[in-house]
Amino acid sequence: MQMSWTDISSGLNRIWNVELWKTGDAQIYLSQVIIAITLIIVGVIVIRWIGSSLVKRALKSGHASQNTIYAFRKLFSFLAYVLIVLIALPVAGIPITIFAVLGGALAIGVGFGAQNLLNNLISGMILIAERPIRIGDIVELENERGRIEEIGNRCVRIKRFDGVHVLVPNSYFLEQRVVNWTLISTEIRSTVTVGVAYGSPIDRVRELMMEAASQHEKIVQRLPFEVFFDDFGDNSLTFNLLFWTEVEAPMDIRRVQSDIRFKLDKLFAENDIVIAFPQRDVHLDTLKPLEIKMK
């Protein structure tokens, strides 16, 4: 027995008008849900397109920093998504008051199943608003150190010195101790320590260390760099060179320190200043004759 077009149409119409939920005077049909989901999907696509276009224009104009643009896009997307849902539901004929009935069950499910998710989501919004960390900042978390590449809805992506990416939950940055090297300024003070042999001309040592610092292009010359006679060590006279450097990448400080050490080794060798090494005085017991054997 073949089905007529009228039967097929009638069957599809019944499916289209299947009742999914009813409470009081409010009823939700399958057709309304499909319309609402379609409107939300279209709205999300349009919002992402608008957000990308605004970001590209803002970056080209150069009137705002990358962090400001990123924070604006996050806030715009969040408000736009909420607005799309509030518009799509009434257009599809779904009363928003229906969620008051579902709110109790939904709250219980969210409380048990999505507590951490909501915690990190809210923490991400706080990070974007207060900006204790920003994209491009160099941060230190316990044994992890690297540059922040993205602040997401759930976690922050950090690229370590060795190129490995680390994902850290947003809530960590609000609950734990975090060292932000570049929060206020990218100028970081660093130290190079060197020990010279006893009897070395200490004034000349200081001059050579100041010379090494003054000749390095990465050291900020407008900020003072100093040499401190740190201590009379067991094997050497210890000096510390303190200087400021502009940090653009996590490895910049180590590169500058290495360059300074190369330069100091060269300058000390040219001026006959010996970089100390561990030494020990050996005292022999001479209360009785020493026994010497030759083979």
User: 33-47, 95-109, 120-134, 209-223 — which is least confidently predicted?
Assistant: 95-109
Task: Supply the CATH number for residue 40's domain.
Answer: 1.10.287
**Does residue 55 lie within any of the structural domains?**
yes
Mean pLDDT of the chain: 80
Q: Per the domain annotation, does 128 fall within a domain?
A: no
Establish if 275 belongs to a structural domain.
no
Let me know whether 169 and 196 are in one domain. no
User: Is the domain of 164 the same as that of 231?
Assistant: no
- CATH number, domain at 157? 2.30.30.60
Based on the fold, state whether residues 77 and 164 are members of the same structural domain.
no
Tell me whether strands 179-180 and 138-141 are parallel, antiparallel or unpaired: antiparallel
Asked whether residue 22 is assigned to any structural domain, the reply reads yes
The answer to whether residue 120 sits within a structural domain is no
Quick one: which of 135, 175, 139 has its CA closest to 152? 135
Span 109-162, pLDDT tens digits: 555 556 777 788 788 878 877 888 888 888 888 878 888 888 877 888 998 878
Same domain, 47 and 89: yes
Which one has a higher pLDDT value, 19 or 121? 121
| 227 part of a folded domain | yes
Range of the domain at 204: 187-270
In a domain, 2, yes or no: no
pLDDT at 1: 44
CA atoms within 13 A on the CB side of 91: 14
Q: Are residues 250 and 164 in the same domain?
A: no
Residue 46 belongs to some domain of the structure: yes
Number of structural domains found in the chain: 3
Residues 6+ apart with CB under 8 A from 289: none
If you write DSSP's letter for every residue of 42-108 in order, what string do you get?
HHHHHHHHHHHHHHHHHHHHTSS-HHHHHHHHHHHHHHHHHHHHHHHHHHHT--TTHHHHHHHHHHH
Query: Do residue 34 and residue 92 come from a single domain?
Result: yes
For the cut 50, the answer to whether the pLDDT of residue 55 exceeds it is: yes
20 and 107 in a common domain: yes
Please report, for the domain that includes residue 217, its CATH number. Answer: 3.30.70.100
